Amino acid sequence: MNTMTMDKLDNIEAQSVFILREAYREFKNLAMLWSIGKDSTVLLWLARKAFFGHVPFPLVHIDTSFKIPEMIVYRDNLAREWKLNMVYGQNKAALEAKITFPAGKIDRLSCCKALKSEALKHTLAGDWPRFRMNHTTGQYEIDKNTEPYTGVIVGARADEEGSRSKERYFSPRDKNNDWDVGDQPPELWNQFKTDFAPGTHIRIHPLLDWTELNIWEYIQRENIPITNLYFDQGTGKRYRSLGCYPCTTPVDSTAKNVAEIVEELRSGKFSNIAERSGRAQDKEDGGLETLRRQGYM
Partner 1 sequence: MNNQREQMNVVIVGHVDHGKSTVIGRLLADTGSLPEGKLEDVKAMCARNARPFEYAFLLDALKDEQAQGITIDTARSFFKSKKRDYIIIDAPGHIEFLKNMISGAARAEAALLVIDAHEGIKENSKRHGYMMSFLGIKNITVCINKMDLVKYSEKIFESIKAEYLEFLSEINVVPQNVIPISAREGDNMVSSSSHMPWYKGSSILQALDTFSKQAMPYEQQFRFPVQDIYKFTAEGDDRRIVAGRVETGTIKVGDEVVFLPSNKKNKIKSVEGFNTSATTTAVAGQSTGFCFETQIYIRPGEIMCNAAERAPYVSTRFKTNIFWMSKEPMVKGKNYKLKIATQHVPVVLSQIVSVLDASELSSIASKSEISRHDVAECILETLKPVAFDKVTDISATGRFVIVDNYEIVGGGIILAPVFEESSIVKDHVHRREMNWERSGITPEKRAQKYDHKSTLIVITGQVETGKQRIAKALEEKLFRQGKFVYFLGIPNQPANLEKAGNDRTLNRFFHIQQLGEMAHILTDAGLILITSISEADDAELKILKSLNQPNKTLIIGVGEEEISTELTDLKLSANMETEKAVSQIFDLLVRSVVLDPEYNI
- Contact residues for partner 1, defined by CB under 8 A: 1-2, 4-11, 13-15, 17-18, 21-22, 24-25, 48-54, 56, 83, 158-159, 161-163, 165-166, 168, 181-182, 184-191, 193, 195-198, 209, 211, 217, 221-222, 266, 272-274, 289
Region for 107 from its dihedrals, namely left if φ exceeds 0, alpha if ψ lies in -120 to 50, beta otherwise: beta
Q: Which lies closer to partner 1 via its Cβ, residue 103 or residue 181?
A: 181
Strand order in the sheet with 170-173: 140-142, 131-133, 86-89, 59-62, 30-33, 151-153, 201-204, 170-173
C-alpha 19/C-alpha 192 separation (Å) is 9
CB atoms < 10 A from the CB of 28, how many? 9
Q: Which lies closer to partner 1 via its Cβ, residue 185 or residue 246?
A: 185
Q: Which lies closer to partner 1 via its Cβ, residue 56 or residue 138?
A: 56
- For residue 196, the minimal CB distance to partner 1 (Å) is 6
Q: Which lies closer to partner 1 via its Cβ, residue 143 or residue 217?
A: 217
C-alpha 15/C-alpha 202 separation (Å) is 18
H/E run at residue 133: strand 131-133
62, β-bridge pairs: 89
Residues 6+ positions from 64 with CB-CB distance below 8 Å: 90, 91, 115, 116, 119, 244
- For residue 102, the minimal CB distance to partner 1 (Å) is 29
Q: Which lies closer to partner 1 via its Cβ, residue 18 or residue 66?
A: 18
Q: Which lies closer to partner 1 via its Cβ, residue 76 or residue 212?
A: 212
- For residue 258, the minimal CB distance to partner 1 (Å) is 13
C-alpha 221/C-alpha 12 separation (Å) is 13
C-alpha 30/C-alpha 153 separation (Å) is 8
- For residue 164, the minimal CB distance to partner 1 (Å) is 9
- For residue 8, the minimal CB distance to partner 1 (Å) is 5
Residue 32 backbone phi and psi in degrees, to 5: -120, 130
- Give yes or no for a contact between 154 and 203, defined as CB atoms under 8 angstroms apart: yes
SS3 170: strand
What is the bridge-based pairing of β-strands 131-133 and 140-142? Answer: antiparallel
- For residue 154, the minimal CB distance to partner 1 (Å) is 17
CA angle 41, 44, 49 (to 5 degrees): 130
H/E run at residue 203: strand 201-204
Q: Which lies closer to partner 1 via its Cβ, residue 96 or residue 183?
A: 183
Q: Which lies closer to partner 1 via its Cβ, residue 90 or residue 177?
A: 177
- For residue 273, the minimal CB distance to partner 1 (Å) is 5
- For residue 234, the minimal CB distance to partner 1 (Å) is 27
